[in-house]
Chain A
């Protein structure tokens, strides 16, 4: 870091200039409105007025089984959702990026675009396509499985309590694998040729070159991918909402914090929106994610050794 020189200068206006536009827009349009909403967690609305109730809403969320059962169920499902992403999405993303970054491999641009295409689709399309593919009625999957004599494997996966969440998580992995792939790919590309050549001179090639040389170099990016997956998963909502509806069925087996929050905050069918309880849930989600990000920023990112090129 260039701190020695920069610290000597008395006023470093350029720091403020660099920060100001982002901080201003972000604070005015995002932080202030969101803070205004989260504040409602400490209030309860009675007769069109908001009364301050301290932490009562949190007591209700955790103390009243009508709320706490839903909350813990959603949290548990969310953890499963996240674990599936970590176990599949990121390793697959890294593997794809590693293959794509092999020099002289033909057609990488085509592959890269194909892998990223699902990420570009809207949820309406993703929901429609996968419902059609997995539907027991229109038979895309049963037919395909039948061709390889595996039809017995087929089940109404989106409609069973035991399989709905896993199926949705896999669809989400399918959709988002492009994100870690792109980030890792960009990181792999920034590894200077000299480093690779030096490794090759030392006889480190092929897979061992990846594990011993490249992987350590891209670890900070792997870290980013993990934390982005964490944040994204604990905020996820659209896919489950568009595939399973706001009740995230069957029997709330696909309910994650995002769907629970939206149902509560905005209401659903006859259920009226409850901004106070909604804000309470949002605050809990916020705290969970904040803890994760803070651990990453303060504990992991600081300790991670960075290689500068």
Chain B
């Protein structure tokens, strides 16, 4: 390396430093959004931001997502040093609650339109007493099963309503041998918990009733209603693909899009991913135990937007959040991102048929959120993480349903004292 090169490097860095400061100085009303949703970058740039900027020409919005695995750590560091953006995408429950308690997020109680969200919708981003909400709820995700309709038709399988019908269908698919019956892997673990346990579980622990009883300490994870979903899950293993222990989440997605699997335990976010597939698809909610049972679905609060308390553009940020609480935003967002359902009470006209199918379950089943999210994952060991491990272990056959449940309850008992 000779001297001129070093010098030009230094000049280059000085020049960009000056440039950086200059742009910061003139951008008085540029709002930056911090988010983990890399997936949504083009939708924000092409649909959402233009719609907002059209109504508010004085405010410019920049959507600046980072990889989801880096988001929390990166955001934490930037908030601590004061370089974070104005608008912050909020994870549900304790992650955001902690930011609020540290003074990084402000209350959004006074944002017009907050009254359009139900208490359950707001629960993910409110203080434990429910008095202060610190993020405007944006979307929830629903669990269920997406199936390959061509495969079902070919094998003469009806959409299963009950557990027995579900396993009968699996037997048929397995006997035929063309398709992987249940397209689920345990390599990344979270699918085992989220698409497995939390997907079918609410039918056994009766949704909100069971979840709240667990928080209140009235029921335990070792009780039959909490162990039974694990017993059902253990029965899935023989129907899963070869080497499912090393099957990662993208593998499962690709296997289904390529038409090589019959039933895919899904999150509604998968809808858009499967749209390009060249076969007909359908969806059904988690099967109930016997005909006539009330059905429950996991309709989980997933994403919200809040305001950086240190934002220099507080007024503009408020204007933006107020817009986020309007039906206009809800409609653009839900239609641009089929599978992310608005949490506003007003009905939104969805265009995507699969998304419509998922959201129609809200009408016939009772909604609940994932059992581990509120309060119960506050201590060490972390119940959500443990549930990932336990669910994967059950599917891998390295733990029995009873062992898995006992481990979870023991972990919870070690720090959680209900009612205190």
Instruction: Please list the residues of chain A having a beta carbon within 8 angstroms of any beta carbon in chain B.
Output: 48, 66-67, 131, 134-138, 155-161, 241, 244-247, 249-252, 266-274
User: Among the listed stretches B50-58, B82-90, B247-255, B281-289, which one makes contact with chain A, having 4 or more residues with CB under 8 Å of it?
Assistant: B247-255
Most buried by B among A134, A137, A156, A272: A137
- How far apart are A57's CB and chain B's nearest CB, in angstroms? 12
Query: In the assembled complex, which residues on chain A have CB atoms less than 8 Å from the CB atom of B392?
Result: 249-251
Contact indicator A272/B247 (Cβ below 8 Å): no
B273 on interface, CB distance cutoff 8 Å: no
Residues of A within 8 Å of B101, CB to CB, are 48
- Candidates A67, A136, A267; contact of B243 at CB < 8 Å: A136
Our pick among A67, A138, A156 for the contact of B245 (Cβ within 8 Å) is A156
Complex alpha-carbon distance, A294 and B370, angstroms: 50
**Docked complex Cα distance between A267 and B382 (Å):** 10
- CB<8 Å pairs between A and B, sample of 8: A66-B381, A135-B243, A136-B247, A159-B186, A250-B389, A252-B389, A271-B382, A272-B98
A247 and B388 contact, CB distance less than 8 A: yes
Closest A-chain residue to B97, C-beta based? Answer: A272
Among B41-49, B68-76, B292-300, the stretch in contact with A: B68-76
Chain B residue contacts of A157, Cβ below 8 A: 246
B389 touches A158 (CB 8 A): no
Rounded to whole angstroms, the CA-CA distance of A20 and B95 in the bound complex is: 43
* Shortest beta-carbon distance from B375 to chain A in Å: 11
Asked whether, in the complex, the Cβ of A271 is within 8 Å of the Cβ of B384, the reply is yes
Residue from A155, A159, A241, A271 in contact with B385 in the complex, judged by beta carbons closer than 8 Å:
A271
On chain B, the residues within 8 Å of A137 by CB distance are: 241-243, 247, 251, 255
Cβ-based interface call for B319 (8 A) = no
Interface residues of B (CB under 8 A from A): 69, 72-73, 76, 93-95, 98, 101-103, 185-190, 241-248, 251, 255, 372-373, 377-378, 380-385, 388-389, 392-393, 396, 398, 411, 414-415
**A150 CB to closest chain B CB, in angstroms?**
16
Contact of B73 among A67, A136, A273 (CB under 8 A): A273
Contact A251 B393 (CB under 8 A): yes
Given contacts A136-B243, A268-B385, A270-B94, contact A161 B248 (CB under 8 A): no
Selected from A66, A138, A249, A266, the residue in CB contact (under 8 A) with B189 is A249
Shortest C-beta distance, A274 to chain B (Å), equals 8
Given A135-B247, A266-B76, 5 further pairs, Cβ under 8 A:
A135-B243, A249-B187, A249-B389, A250-B392, A270-B377
State in angstroms the CA–CA spacing of A156 and B98 once bound together.
Answer: 39
A58–B264 Cα distance when bound, in Å, is 45
Q: In the complex, what residues of A have CB within 8 A of residue B393's CB?
A: 250-251
Q: Which residue of A lies closest to B392 (CB)?
A: A250
Known: A135-B246, A159-B186. A270 touches B72 (CB 8 A): no
The interface residues of chain A lying within 8 Å CB-to-CB of B255 are 137
Chain B residues lying within 8 Å of A158, measured Cβ to Cβ, are 187, 246
Contact A250 B245, CB 8 Å, known A48-B101, A270-B93, A270-B384: yes
* A138: chain B residues within 8 A (beta carbon): 251
The answer to whether B72 and A273 have CB atoms under 8 Å apart is yes
Give the nearest-CB partner of A67 in chain B.
B380
Q: How far is the CA of A128 from the CA of B86 in the complex (A)?
A: 34
| Neighbouring B residues of A135 by C-beta, 8 Å | 243, 246-248, 251
**Chain A residues, Cβ within 8 Å of B248:** 131, 135
CA distance A29 to B381 in the complex (A): 34
